[in-house]
Amino acid sequence: MPAMRRLVLNGFFLVALACTAIGLVEAGFIAYDWWSGGSMSSLRAPDLGRGVRSWTVHHAMRPGYEDSAVTLNSFGLRSPEVDVPKPTGTHRILLLGDSFTFGFKAADEDVFARRVEANLRQALGTDAVEVVNAGVLSYCPLLEYLQYRHHLHALEPDLVILNFDMSDVQDHLEYSRDLVRAADGTPLFVTEPSLGRQVPSRVPDLLSWQWVATKARAAINRFESASTGVPFTRDLDRYLWTFDEGPPMDREALEAMASIGDLKRLLDRDGVPLVLATYPQPWQVAGDATPGGTIRAQYGIGANTVHLNDRPFRLLEQFAAGQAIPFVNATMKFREAPEPAGLFLVDDFHFSPRGNDVYAGVLTAHVLERVRSGAIR
């Protein structure tokens, strides 16, 4: 009996010790969460911030969200509110894209959508021109097609411009893993995986356990990506196809572009023209662009390095020609601009205010050319 008592007491002691350790660790996570403004607790409430999970387009932005930097309208878009149905006499241009189109780290008035709108209103002498910014962080043509198919067709655009980013190839590799297609191959929806994993649980919803689960899922994805040879997750693989000595990844790139063709066929039925536009990353413009922070190291670019390989742009142009889609490439405008490194943020690869202005000028010129030629009214 004394031995049994010691065994039971030791068991209770170990349980108490484990609970105390978990409590101390969780207290540390709670303290960090408070210090960082809720960066950890957002893991437990992922749909209360700017971004929300989606059953149809993987992720979107929360309608009506507002903070000191960003205001979203009732569609969850970074644009002024839009009327539905579209008012008679209004000319509406819809911009699709990822964080560059959204305007990451840019003020509302600096994103290129607002610059294009101001340019067109001045050039055409009318305020009846709307440019709707439908950019969402980490989007690609697949999600942009689904975004239009499920939601944005209600905006009745007169022109759609899809802004293709060099990261779209890896994003497609990731999101297409959860894509559901119709029997004829038409993309139907992409559900954010954690929505499908939601089941009642008796396990405490601790910040520390949420953090461990997130890290574990990321590690599993990296292992799966490495073992299958499909670079869908690692930052170091994100821009491989843009490097001078990188793999061409033509097959993966064309798979990512296929959704642009799906979108064109959808728009053709409504008589809405589509334009494919693209722009360069900092390291495709100048060796001293985006020299600060850890961006270049994070994505394997290297300091003072420039990649002038234009294979990705040629592949985009060939795809657009095969689909009879007008193609706009702003790369040369960026390279030829005075002090081109200043077109990007110092510690982030997104556009600076001047970069937004240059890209807006390229898009404005193309739209005005189409207006003057009668391609759009």
Per-domain residue ranges for the chain? 1-39, 44-373
pLDDT band with cut points at 50, 70 and 90 for residue 40: low
Q: pLDDT tens-digit profile of 286-339?
A: 999 999 989 999 999 989 999 999 999 999 999 999 999 999 999 999 999 999
Express as a percent the part of the chain with pLDDT over 70. Answer: 89
In terms of Cβ atoms closer than 10 Å to its own Cβ (0-12, 13-18, 19+), residue 349 is buried
Q: How high is the pLDDT of residue 20?
A: 87
Q: pLDDT tens-digit profile of 154-200?
A: 999 999 999 999 999 999 999 999 999 999 999 999 999 988 765 55
Say whether pLDDT at 94 is over 90: yes
> 159-164 and 129-133 as β-strands: parallel, antiparallel, unpaired?
unpaired
pLDDT band with cut points at 50, 70 and 90 for residue 77: very high
Looking at the domain 44-373, which fold is it?
Rossmann fold (3.40.50)
Measured at the CA of 83, the angle between CA 78 and CA 84, to 5 degrees, comes to 115
Cβ proximity of 302 and 288 under 8 Å: no
What residues contact residue 88 under an 8 Å CB cut-off, 6+ apart?
A: none
> 129-133 and 91-96 as β-strands: parallel, antiparallel, unpaired?
parallel
Nearest CA to 68 out of 33, 37, 31, 46 is that of: 37
Rounded Cα–Cα distance for residues 334 and 340 (Å): 6
pLDDT band with cut points at 50, 70 and 90 for residue 355: very high
Average pLDDT over residues 125-138: 97
Q: How high is the pLDDT of residue 91?
A: 96
Average of per-residue pLDDT values in the chain: 90
Express as a percent the part of the chain with pLDDT over 90. Answer: 71
Q: What does the DSSP assignment read for 235-273?
A: GGGTTGGGSTTS---HHHHHHHHHHHHHHHHHHHHHT--
Structure tokens at 45: 């409430």
